[in-house]
Each structure stands twice: as C-alpha cells, then as structure tokens.
Amino acid sequence: MKILVVDDEKNILKLYQVELEDEGYSVVTANSGKEGLEVFERENPDIVTLDILMPDLDGIQVLRLMKEKRPSVPIIMLTAYDYRDDFSVWVSDAYVVKSSDLTNLKATIKQLIKKTTT
Amino acid sequence: MNDTENTNGPSLLNDSETEVLQATKGQLNRLLVIFDLTKAIISAHDFRELLEKVSEETAKIFNAKGCMILFIEDGMLKIKAHYGFPAEIRDALTVNLGESFVGKVAVEGKPMLAQSPEDFGRLSQYIDIQTALCTPLKIGDQVIGTFGLYNKKNVDKDGNESIVPFTADDQAILEGFASIASIVIDKSLLYENALRKEKEALEAKQRFGDLWDHLQGFIENSADAIVTTDLEGVVVSWNIGAEKIYGYARNEAIGKYMPFIPDFLREVEKVYAERVKRGETIKDIETVRGTRGGTLLDVNLTLSPIKDPSGAVIGISGIARDITEKKRIEKDLISKNAVLSKLMMISSAMRGTLELNKLLRMVLTAVTMGDGLGFNRAMLFLLDETKNTLRGAVGVGPSSHEEAWEIWSRLTTEQKSLDSIMEEIERGPLRKDSFMDKLCCGVEVSMDNETVLTKAIKEKRAFNVTDVHAEPLSDPILIQQLGTLAYAVLPLVSRNKVIGVLWVDNIYTSRTITDLDMEFLKGFSDQMASAIENARLFEHVAQAEQELENIFESISDLVYFISSDYVIKNANKAVQSKLGKPLESIIGKKCYEVFHGIEAPWGKCPHHKTILTNKPFIEELEDPQLGGTFLVSTSPIFDKAGEVMGTVHIVRDISELKKLREKVANAERMAALGEMAAKVAHEIRNPLLSIGGFARRLEKRLAGDLKEYSKIIVDEVGRLEGILNDALSFVKSAPVNKTDFDLGEIIDSIITLFEPAVLGRGNRLTMEMAQPVKIHADYDRIKEVLINLVTNANEATERGNIIIRAYRQVLLSEADLLGHKARSFNVIVEIEDSGCGIKEENINRIFDPFFTTRTSGTGLGLSITKRIVEEHGGRIEVESNRGSGAKFKIYIPLQEG
C-alpha cells in the first residue's frame, strides 16, 4: 500500500513518513504541489495526503488535477483548521485537521483503504 | 122633443085612444132617443170623443141649443164635454159644488128644471141661458158629475124659432139616459185607465230599451276598462277599453281569473271582493294593474256589486281608469310644491350630512322616492381621476316589479320625519348591499370610451336617452348589466369641476323621462354635487385625522404632550404599555410623578430646558426608573399668542440599540483580533506539529525520566494546539449542518465523556428529561455547546450537582387565514450547577470572546457557544448569584406545521 504525502514543510514530511511507515505503509513524499503531481504520476500511489496551504500550487489545485487524472485514488486533505465551509474541500475523500497527534489521520487512512478494497 | 105630429096629425081617434097613442108614442120616442144615444156612444173611439158625441147628440135629440157634461174632480165640477158653448169655456170655467143650479144638482143628487136667470150663475156669461135642465151622473149612489141641457128650441108652424122651457118628460128621459150614460162613462173610464197603463208600460219599455242600448254603447266605447266578473273573480265581460288598457283581447280574458291583477295584490283584491259581496260599492281606489306586456299601470278603480232581481249579489263590476298619466301630472304639477319642500328637506339634510356613503344613499333615495323625483332606479358614478374611470358608487332601486311595489308603497316622505326617512334608508330595501347597490358597485367605465356616461362628464351636459337601441352612444355595460331601455344621465358639477354623474331610469313603470323631470334633476344635481364634494373633503380630513391618530397610537416611541406646568395632556399606547398604566391614570398627572416617581421635576429632564428657552432639545439619558437608555426629544408647542404652552416628548428606548452598538464595536474589534490570531496560529501550527509529532515518537521509544520529559513536550504542544483550534474555529465558522436527533443521545454521551472529570471534582452530573426531546440542529455543534457548558459547570463546582435539563415549550402563534394554527416550539436545554456562581459585574461579559476568569483556557468557549446557539436562531441566557450556582438556559426554536 503506497501513500503519497505532499507538504511544503520538510519536517512534517519526515514525521509523516516515519509514522506511516511504522504503520506498515510504503511512503513517498513531495515537498511542493508541483512535485506532488510528478510523484503522483510516477509512483502511482494508492492514497494521497495533501496539505492545503502551500506556496506555488496549493492543495486545492493539486487535488483537482489529481482527481482529473485518477479519480479513484482517495485523497485526504490536511487543514490547519476546520475547513468545512470551503466547498472545494468537499471533492476530497476526507479531511483531517493537522495535529501532532496522528491518531485521527491514521484512522482516516485505514477507513479509506477499507472502503476502496471492499 | 118634437111634438109636431101630436098637434098636426088628423084627429081620427077618441080622446082615450089618443091618450094611449100619445103615451105609446112617447115611450117609443124615449126608446128611439136611447137607441140613438147608444148608437152614438158605440161609434165613439175614445172617451173624450165619446163624451163630446154624447153631449152633441143629446142636445140634438132634446132640441136644445146647448149641452154640458161636468165631472167632480178635486172637489169641484170641471167641464168634460160641451155642445153649443164657445170652445174656450172648457178651460175658463169650473163650478163649485153648490154654486148655481148645476152645483146644487151635484150636491143634492136630484135633477132640476131651471127657469130664472139667477139659477144659471156664471154660465150665462158665455151664452144667454133662458131655460135649463140638469140631472146628476151617478154610479150607484155616488154623484160623479152633472149632465145639463140649455135653451130648448121650439119652431112654430110658420117656422119661427123660440126658446121654451124643458118639460117633465124631458127631465124623465134625461134622467133615464143619465143613468145609462153613467154606466157607460164608468166602464169607459176603466177601459181608458187600462189603455193608459198599457201605453205607459209600452213607453217605459221603449225608454228602457233606449237606455240599454245607450248603456251598451257607453260600456263598449268607454275609454275606461269595464270588466265584470263572477264572485270568484272569473271574467264574464270585457269591454274594448279593457282590451286597450290591459292589452288582453276579450277572448283571452273571458272565463279566466282577472289577468290584470299583479300577484302581489291578490290578497288585497280578495278583501275588496269580500266587501263588494256584502253589497258595498268601493269608489276611487287608487291601485295598480298589470298589462299583458308586463308593465304596471296606475288606475282609479270603482268596484260595484251586480245583483239579481232578488237583490242577491251575483257578480262584481269593476271600472278602471288608467291614471298613469294623471298620476304623472299630479306628481309633476299638482304636487310640485310638496316635492319641492321634500327636496328642500333632503337637501338640507344633505348639507348636514358629512358622511359620504350615507349622503350618497340619501341623494339617491330622494331621486327614487315616490313623492320625491320618483325614478325607478338611480345610480351614482364618481370620477376616479387617478384611474381615469367612472365607478359606480351607490345604487338604489328595487330588483323586481314586486319589490318595486313594496318599496314605493312604503317609502314615501308623507308624514314622516327626516329621522324616520334616514332610518328607512339605513334599514330598508335601499340599504347598502342591496341587489342594485352590488350591481352598481361592480360597474366601471373607462373615460377613454365614447359613451353617454363619459360624454356627460366631458361635456358637462345632461343626456336623456329615450331608446338605448336608437342611441349609438348608449352604454353597453348598462344595457347588459341593468337591462335598461331608456335612461338619463346628469353631470354632477361642483365648483366648476365634474365629480361624477347621476344615472336614472324607469325600468318598472316604463314612464318616459320628460323635460320637466330633467329640469328637476338638474336643479337637484347641483346641490347634490356640492354636498358630495363637501362630504368628500370632510372624509379626507377625517381620514387624515384618523391616520394621524393611528400613527400617534401605533408609533413604538413614547409620544406625549406635557403642559408648561408639567401636566401630561395626552400620551400614546407606547407610553401606556411602558408604564404599565391605563391612560386615565396618566393624563392629568405631573410627568415627574408618573415617569420618575419623584415629587419635583427631574434635573436631567430636557422638558424644562425647552420651556425656558423655547427651543427643542434632544438628549440621550440613562433612566434608572424606566430601566434603560433613552433618546428623548422635547419640542415646544406654541399657542396662538406665540407663548409656549407645553412640549411634545418623543422618547425612544435605545437600550437595545446601545447594546447593539457595543456589540458591533466589539465584533469589529474581535474580527481584527481574530484575523491576526488566525495568522499567528497558522504560522505556529506547522512547527508545533513537528515538535509534538516527534516528541510523541520519542516518548514511545524512551523510558524513565526521558520518557517523562518527552511527555511534557507532547502535553504542552497538545495544549497549544488546543488553543489554536479554539482560536481558529472562532475566526472561521462552518455552515450549520442540521439533522433530526434526540437530545437525550447527546446528553448521554456527554455524561459518559465527563464521568472521569466530574468524579475527579466530587460532583454529580445528572439528566432531567421527562420525555424524548427531538431537535433539528447541527449535532456536532450542539454537542460542542454542551461540552463547553458542562466543562464550565464542572470547573465552577466542587462536590456539588450539575443537572442537564431538556424540554419543549409550546408557543402558539396566531391562526392563519385558513384558521390553521402553526405550532412552534422552543427546545430548552438548561445546565444548572451548584457552584461558585458568577460575579454580578461579570455576568454581562461572560459571552465576550477572550473573557475568562480562569487561569487556564482561551476565554473563547462561551462566545463560541453563544455563536452556535445564535446560528440556530436561538438565544442563551444566564442566571446566577454569587455563591449559589449558575444556570445557563438555551432556547432553540423549532417549527412544526
């Protein structure tokens, strides 16, 4: 199971990578939206986590481009705060408020995998 | 008697023989005389001729120069026949009983020979009487007259004529003859009488026949309708007049019940019939009759009984004269003065009536009243200048012939006061909403149309349309809706401005509208117009007054007038409700007593400033007595002399406004603050995430002190993230996502969630809910609200009770148009604790963002709570006394059909 993590913060990428690898996933990372799209094409991930606030290409744009290419890949939006009133987020499969406690994120990933495999 | 044979014949017989012969001759002579007389009598044709004949023949037989027959009539003797006297004697002479020898004979009943001239009396004035013989005429013992002979002639051998006396023989013969004559006369008289009677009878018959023909002719040719019926009212005869007046041919009417009786008069007619059956003749009834064509005629009627020879009434004759025309003339001319005086009365009432509707009705009543102008129907159209149309305003008139009769017989100003007429108008068939009125109010004619109605307005001219089908401009709407066949319209002109038109017609009586009618209407319509205009102006003023009154009463600001000596003169409803007192206990009181409950004017009141300076003042005042902040304006009212007599106060409760203003300022402040906070929060979230995330990894892998230190990092980061989440969720709100759920569910989960924390402070958390409370709301947010409130309650309480209560409060709103009552509810959730309570000075601030009395926490919890409740259209209230706990009460409205 390959997860693509896209975030402009290198430390966060590192944290997510080790944490998710601990969970048994294979993790690929991208440090910007642009890079995220390249990796998405090249690595064919089964699931993507996407930060919203990024400099060059923000998470919402990336989300749209990825969904155009492979709509079946579940994408989890990571938000700095409650983004429920931003309609664009609704096209994603789930969103999780960023927190140092990754329990919520991990649970959401598990749920989505379960959904796609059944 | 002629004795010549006695003296001249040869004397061949002896004396005795001669004597016998003489006697026999005498007898024979007498018989001959009687025979001659009888012959004469028989040849006579009538009584008078008979008597004349008798007197002539008798004179000749007796050789007398004169004869006279007199009858006793009326106590004297009258000449009935004579011979040998001048003709004039018959009329000139009557003889009294006992006068002269004739009178004596009549009295004594015996014949008499008269020789002396004094015996003859006045008779000798006519002829020279020398000798006379008179005998009574008797029937039985009764003398009925006398029979007299005068101047007996004797001719000697030489042919010389001399007058000789009558002999006893003559007397005897006359006596016998008179007795026969008497009988003949008597019979003749009887016959004469019979004859006369028969003649009279024939003449009477003739006269009656003439009369009958005359009467028949009269009946046939009479202009009056003469109709006879049997006692049941079935027509027996029907003259030409009846055909002309009623329009039914003879053969259509005979054998039927009187066809001209209108249905509504049948009962009255029965009463008349009963009276006639009792033998009474009823003269000069003024009533109405229906024609074959359906119109009603005014008639003058005389009803008489028809009797059979025994006097029993067997039928009724009715003579009816069409007095429609007469009635009209009566109305137009004879009662002109009366009409004028009624109109004067009405028009004075009109001038005195300012209520437009009543006035219009009154006007039309005057137009249709029997002894008013007497039109059948009348309508008033008023000009609506804004819509450029003519609209029916009032209509008066019966809707059928029957109703017409009822109204006209009832509605007359005769011997009625103005009040009772007005009462008639309001209650009677002319009332508002009558058939005609409704019909009229539905009529609307565009002024762009070219019709009689609009022309009357445009040209300020009256029109008399005598035949709608002949008039190309006649109004189709009137023909269609009112069925009018002829009508007149008059413009109503007030101060040179046309305000409408008056419309009249005579649909029921079909009476032609004459020039005289039109003149009358014109005179009246001018008065009408100015009265209507006055009433309209008055109505405008009254309306404006009412509007002002309404504004005054309904304005939500307190408005009141105060005199210069601080006495309240008037106050609107808002004042009454603010003070919670009725108007009576406000007016006439001193304003400072009523409003401020003090004995002397309030120092801050702008009223006395206005009184002092004559200038208006506007001030914002805190009024502890009324409880709130008020914007007070006082404006001076001046009397005619320019002195200030008082002030108008307009007081607006701006407590809410003030709060709102503060809120807005607060919100602006918070928005700026929040935006900054969001930025900061976002900038620090990522580093915090890395710190916290790796610290968690370390915590898992380390042991002993290092593990503990790592945990400290993890906890602190968690706290910081919590603050960030609070701050950011305050700034950025999400839309409400409502679903239906039971509040019990949330409360249950909260009790479970808080169990450790509640127990940790020695508290007891319980739920009070009598029945399930369904709510339509955002589940997550309501849960957040309860978490916040329970958190606060738990932190404020130690070894106490926390109760969560939930229930529904039913609010009934007013019924809608269909009578359905929309039921609405408030769902109320109370969180009550027995903790330390809230300080009085803090109670108004606890919902402000960042306000907190705790050392920990963001101070955003309650403001987020309030925001969520408000997003649901609800409100949150708090009650608290320091030291005795607090109660938060959430109201969430819930509509239910």
Q: Are the beta carbons of A82 and B729 separated by less than 8 Å? A: yes
CA distance B90 to B110: 24
Mean pLDDT, range B810-834, rounded to an integer: 73
Chain A residues within an 8 Å CB radius of B725 = 81-82, 97
Chain B residues within an 8 Å CB radius of A101 = 692, 696, 718
Q: Are the beta carbons of B696 and A101 separated by less than 8 Å? A: yes
**Do B88 and B139 lie in a common domain?**
yes
CA distance B563 to B584: 17
- Residue A101, chain B, CB below 8 Å: the answer is yes
* The predicted structure's pLDDT at residue A20: 95
* The predicted structure's pLDDT at residue B221: 72
| pLDDT top residue among B604 and B564 | B564
- Residue A11, chain B, CB below 8 Å: the answer is yes
Q: Considering only residues 698 to 727 of chain B, which have any Cβ-Cβ distance to chain A shorter than 8 Å?
A: 714, 717-718, 721, 724-725
**Do B184 and B316 lie in a common domain?**
no
pLDDT tens track for B694-747: 999 999 899 999 999 999 999 999 888 888 777 666 555 555 678 888 998 889
Closest CA to A90 of B734, B864, B679: B734
Kindly report the backbone phi and psi dihedral angles of residue B106, in degrees, each rounded to the nearest multiple of 5, phi listed first.
-65, -40
**Do B81 and B115 lie in a common domain?**
yes
CA distance B181 to B29: 18
Please name every residue paired with B573 in a beta bridge, in sequence order, or none if there are none. none
Give yes or no for residue B897 having a pLDDT over 50: no
**Do B886 and B748 lie in a common domain?**
yes
Q: Which two tokens stand for residue B780?
A: 């997550």
**Do B590 and B715 lie in a common domain?**
no
Lowest mean pLDDT among A23-27, A79-83, B357-361, B806-810: A79-83
Q: How far is B847 from chain A (nearest CA, A)?
A: 22
Q: How far is B695 from chain A (nearest CA, A)?
A: 9
The strand order across the sheet containing B764-768 reads B764-768, B801-815, B821-833, B886-896, B875-880
Q: How many other CB atoms are there within 10 angstroms of residue B301's CB atom? A: 20
Mean pLDDT, range B391-396, rounded to an integer: 83
Mean pLDDT, range B64-74, rounded to an integer: 87
Give yes or no for residue A26 having a pLDDT over 50: yes
Decide if B1 contacts B26 (C-beta within 8 A): no
**Which DSSP state fits B511?**
P
| pLDDT top residue among B4 and B674 | B674
Decide if B436 contacts B397 (C-beta within 8 A): yes
Mean pLDDT, range B81-104, rounded to an integer: 85
**CA distances (Å), B218 to each of B254, B599, B879, in order?**
20, 105, 112
**Which DSSP state fits B319?**
E
**Do B609 and B528 lie in a common domain?**
no
* The predicted structure's pLDDT at residue B18: 77
Q: Which two tokens stand for residue B323?
A: 């007095």
CA distance B6 to B25: 9
Q: Are the beta carbons of A12 and B690 separated by less than 8 Å? A: yes
CA distance B520 to B530: 16
Banded pLDDT at A85 (limits 50, 70, 90):
very low
* The predicted structure's pLDDT at residue B23: 73
Q: Is B318 a member of any domain?
A: yes
Chain B residues within an 8 Å CB radius of A102 = 693, 696
How large is the angle between the packed helices B336-352 and B356-368, nearest 10 degrees?
170
Q: Which two tokens stand for residue B39?
A: 């012959």
Q: Exposed/middle/buried for B761, CB within 10 Å: 0-12, 13-18, 19+? A: middle
Q: Which of A15, A53, A85 sits opposite B735 (nearest CB)?
A: A85
**Do B8 and B36 lie in a common domain?**
yes
Q: Is B423 a member of any domain?
A: yes
Q: Which two tokens stand for residue B843?
A: 């109670």
- Residue A85, chain B, CB below 8 Å: the answer is yes
Chain A residues within an 8 Å CB radius of B692 = 99-101
Banded pLDDT at B482 (limits 50, 70, 90):
confident
Tell me if the pTM is above 0.80.
no
Q: Where are the alpha helices (DSSP H) in B484-598?
A: 515-554, 573-579, 591
Q: Which residue among B544, B574, B597 closes a domain?
A: B544
Give yes or no for residue B508 having a pLDDT over 60: yes
Please name every residue paired with B133 in a beta bridge, in sequence order, or none if there are none. B113, B149
Residue type, B233: G
Question: What whole-number percentage of chain B has pLDDT above 90?
Answer: 7
* The predicted structure's pLDDT at residue B691: 93
* The predicted structure's pLDDT at residue B675: 67
Banded pLDDT at B829 (limits 50, 70, 90):
very high
Chain A residues within an 8 Å CB radius of B718 = 100-101
**Residue B581's domain is classified under what CATH number?**
3.30.450.20
Q: How far is A108 from chain B (nearest CA, A)?
A: 17
Lowest mean pLDDT among B341-345, B383-387, B668-672: B341-345
Q: Is B213 a member of any domain?
A: no
Q: Radius of gyration of chain B from Cα atoms?
A: 67
Strands (E), B657-796: 738-742, 764-768, 774-778
Q: How far is B685 from chain A (nearest CA, A)?
A: 7
Decide if B505 contacts B377 (C-beta within 8 A): yes
Angle at B343 between CA B337 and CA B347, to 5 degrees: 145
- In this structure, chain B runs to a length of 897
Mean pLDDT score of chain B: 80
Give yes or no for residue B321 having a pLDDT over 80: yes
Give yes or no for residue A51 having a pLDDT over 50: yes
Q: Which residue among B297, B322, B347 closes a domain?
A: B322
Structural domain count of chain B: 6
Chain B residues within an 8 Å CB radius of A99 = 689, 692, 721
| pLDDT top residue among B116 and B84 | B84
Q: Are the beta carbons of B697 and A101 separated by less than 8 Å? A: no
ipTM: 0.88
Mean pLDDT, range A40-68, rounded to an integer: 87
Mean pLDDT, range B321-330, rounded to an integer: 72
pLDDT tens track for B276-307: 888 888 888 888 888 888 888 888 888 888 88
Give yes or no for residue B883 having a pLDDT over 90: no
Banded pLDDT at B416 (limits 50, 70, 90):
low
Question: What whole-number percentage of chain B has pLDDT above 70?
Answer: 84
Q: How far is A16 from chain B (nearest CA, A)?
A: 9
Mean pLDDT, range B335-363, rounded to an integer: 62
Q: Are the beta carbons of A100 and B688 separated by less than 8 Å? A: yes
- Residue A58, chain B, CB below 8 Å: the answer is no
Decide if B468 contacts B482 (C-beta within 8 A): no
Q: Are the beta carbons of B694 and A101 separated by less than 8 Å? A: no
**Do B357 and B311 lie in a common domain?**
no
Q: Is B202 a member of any domain?
A: no
Q: Considering only residues 726 to 755 of chain B, which have any Cβ-Cβ distance to chain A shorter than 8 Å?
A: 728-729, 731-735, 737
Give yes or no for residue B692 having a pLDDT over 90: yes
| Chain A, nearest residue to B727 by Cα | A81
**Do B51 and B141 lie in a common domain?**
yes
What is the b/e burial string over B168-187, where b = at least 16 CB atoms within 10 angstroms of the residue's CB?
eebbebbeebbeebbebbee
Q: How far is A11 from chain B (nearest CA, A)?
A: 6
Q: Is B199 a member of any domain?
A: no
* The predicted structure's pLDDT at residue B824: 73
In angstroms, how far is CA B47 from the centroid of its own chain? 82
* The predicted structure's pLDDT at residue B720: 87
* The predicted structure's pLDDT at residue B695: 93
**Among the four given CATH numbers 3.40.50.300, 3.40.50.2300, 3.40.50.20, 3.90.1150.10, the one describing domain A2-117:** 3.40.50.2300
**Do B531 and B570 lie in a common domain?**
no
Banded pLDDT at B328 (limits 50, 70, 90):
low
- Residue A21, chain B, CB below 8 Å: the answer is no
CA distance B484 to B487: 7
Chain A residues within an 8 Å CB radius of B735 = 84-85
Q: Which of A82, A83, A98 sits opposite B689 (nearest CB)?
A: A98
- Residue B81, chain A, CB below 8 Å: the answer is no
CA distance B461 to B478: 19
Decide if B43 contacts B16 (C-beta within 8 A): no
Give yes or no for residue B579 having a pLDDT over 90: no
Q: Is B204 a member of any domain?
A: no
**Which DSSP state fits B514?**
P
CA distance B762 to A116: 48
Q: Where are the alpha helices (DSSP H) in B431-497?
A: 435-441, 452-458, 476-482
Q: What is the 3-state secondary structure (H, E, C) of B383-427?
A: EECCCCEEEEEEEECCCCHHHHHHHHHHCCCCCCCHHHHHHHHHH
Give yes or no for residue A62 having a pLDDT over 80: yes
**Do B431 and B532 lie in a common domain?**
yes
Q: Are the beta carbons of B681 and A12 separated by less than 8 Å? A: no
Lowest mean pLDDT among B324-333, B385-394, B603-612, B635-644: B324-333
Give yes or no for residue B5 having a pLDDT over 60: no
- Residue B693, chain A, CB below 8 Å: the answer is yes
- Residue B681, chain A, CB below 8 Å: the answer is yes
**Residue B783's domain is classified under what CATH number?**
3.30.565.10
Count chain A–chain B contacts defined by CB atoms under 8 A.
71
State which of A89-98, B494-503, B827-836 shows the largest mean pLDDT.
B827-836
Q: Which residue among B715, B730, B745 closes a domain?
A: B730
Q: Is B206 a member of any domain?
A: no
Mean pLDDT, range B486-500, rounded to an integer: 86
* The predicted structure's pLDDT at residue B250: 86
| Chain A, nearest residue to B718 by Cα | A100
**Do B42 and B150 lie in a common domain?**
yes
Mean pLDDT, range B142-171, rounded to an integer: 85
Q: Which two tokens stand for residue B59?
A: 């004179």
CA distance B577 to B583: 10
- Residue A96, chain B, CB below 8 Å: the answer is no
Give yes or no for residue A19 having a pLDDT over 90: yes
Q: Are the beta carbons of A12 and B678 separated by less than 8 Å? A: no
Q: Is B437 a member of any domain?
A: yes
Domain that holds residue B365: 336-544
pLDDT tens track for B419-456: 566 666 666 545 556 777 778 888 888 888 888 888 88
Q: What is the 3-state secondary structure (H, E, C) of B121-158?
A: HHHHHCCCCCCEEEEEEEECCEEEEEEEEEEEEEECCC
Decide if B628 contacts B653 (C-beta within 8 A): yes
* The predicted structure's pLDDT at residue B636: 87
